[in-house]
Amino acid sequence: MTTPADLAAVPAEPSAEERRFAEIIEADSRIEPRDWMPEAYRKTLIRQISQHAHSEIIGMQPESNWITRAPSLKRKAILIAKVQDEAGHGLYLYSAAQTLGIGREEMNEQLLAGKARYSSIFNYHTPSWADMGAIGWLVDGAAICNQVPLCRASYGPYGRAMVRICKEESFHQRQGFEILLELMQGTPAQREMAQDSVNRWYWPSLMMFGPPDDESPNSAQSMAWKIKRFSNDELRQRFVGMLVPQAEALGVTLPDPELKWNEEKQAYDMSEIDWTEFQEVLAGRGPANAERMRRRREAHEDGAWVREAAAAYARTQAERKAVA
């Protein structure tokens, strides 16, 4: 005899819209804002895209620290352009998240209230000029490795935003490599500064890819929905494989004594990452977490007059239109 409990255990037939969603994902096609989507898919995208946008905005701080001290006019101009690009990336990404039904103010409030995450990497200080090189080479390099597959993310506005972002990230990565190359061809003190910077940024850049696969609660579902195309560990491994020949070309040493090619695995063996450090940074206790948030809040308050002026202008325009 079928009991009510048995009936409850039988999965409901997927609705027509659920079937349509599954077909689009299966066909590697794209979900657009007008399409029906499961609530959990929408929430995951809002989480990932808004975190990504916040990372771009907070990510302006470590480099803007060097705009006034860049060693030449050329370097200053390049750095200003790069930091402006990061602001642009944040804006494309906030716009993509807005198509999912969340307002920009709400995302911003979550960030200012300390409720939203941004990438762990931006909670480290930039004490030397070589850090501009290491950020470009390692941080933007990791970003490219992680973000090129996101150009094929199943959500249309996110994938399209990523195409442009990745093009700009390539320029960022090159300029960082070139800063390090110039330092490595310089005096012993410059070479030492470059190596010291690589030593400090290498491990945090590997942490950008997120926790190991067996501790990544979101990966399986995000991969099934084709938001993520590769796991955190797969991308991290790919990144290390890219870095090794580039480090050789630069003449810098990657600070991992265990790093060596494993013929059988066709990949590099490496030391265990210090996940305690990662967890500490995520918990708000990294070297620069408090400073980054304080600066972001100050910048928001300093910009209040711009928001008020823009709102007043929009009101006047609307009133004029109504009268006409």
Binding residues vs ligand BYC (CB under 6 A): 47-48, 51-52, 55-56, 59, 86, 117, 119-120, 139-140, 143, 146-147, 207-211, 216-219, 222, 228, 232, 282
| Angle separating helix axes 232-250 and 156-184, nearest 10 degrees | 30
- Burial 82-112, CB ≥16 within 10 A → b, else e: bbebbeebbebbbebbbbbebeeeebbebbe
28: left (phi over 0), alpha (psi -120 to 50) or beta: left
Structural contact between residues 116 and 54, judged by C-beta atoms closer than 8 angstroms:
yes
Q: Nearest approach, Cβ of 135 to ligand BYC (angstroms)?
A: 6
Q: Nearest approach, Cβ of 48 to ligand BYC (angstroms)?
A: 4
Nearer to ligand BYC, 139 or 198 (CB): 139
Provide the residue type at 133 as one letter.
Answer: G
Q: How many angstroms separate the CA atoms of 319 and 321, rounded?
A: 5
Residue 242 half-sphere exposure toward CB, CA atoms < 13 A? 18
| Angle separating helix axes 104-112 and 73-98, nearest 10 degrees | 120
Structural contact between residues 80 and 67, judged by C-beta atoms closer than 8 angstroms:
yes
Q: Nearest approach, Cβ of 146 to ligand BYC (angstroms)?
A: 5
* Centroid of chain to Cα 80: 19
Q: Nearest approach, Cβ of 269 to ligand BYC (angstroms)?
A: 22
Supply 45's token pair: 């995208």
Nearer to ligand BYC, 98 or 119 (CB): 119
Q: Nearest approach, Cβ of 153 to ligand BYC (angstroms)?
A: 9
Nearer to ligand BYC, 191 or 235 (CB): 235
Q: Nearest approach, Cβ of 197 to ligand BYC (angstroms)?
A: 15
Nearer to ligand BYC, 133 or 191 (CB): 133
- Other beta carbons within 10 angstroms of residue 154's beta carbon come to 22
Q: Nearest approach, Cβ of 293 to ligand BYC (angstroms)?
A: 14
Nearer to ligand BYC, 96 or 191 (CB): 96
Nearer to ligand BYC, 131 or 191 (CB): 131
Nearer to ligand BYC, 98 or 222 (CB): 222
Structural contact between residues 49 and 97, judged by C-beta atoms closer than 8 angstroms:
yes
Which residue lies nearest ligand BYC, judged by its C-beta?
59
Residue 267: beta bridge partners? Answer: 262
Element holding 267 (H helix, E strand): strand 267-269
Nearer to ligand BYC, 81 or 318 (CB): 81
Residue 260: beta bridge partners? Answer: 269
Q: Nearest approach, Cβ of 297 to ligand BYC (angstroms)?
A: 19
Q: Nearest approach, Cβ of 231 to ligand BYC (angstroms)?
A: 8
Element holding 261 (H helix, E strand): strand 260-262
Nearer to ligand BYC, 56 or 191 (CB): 56
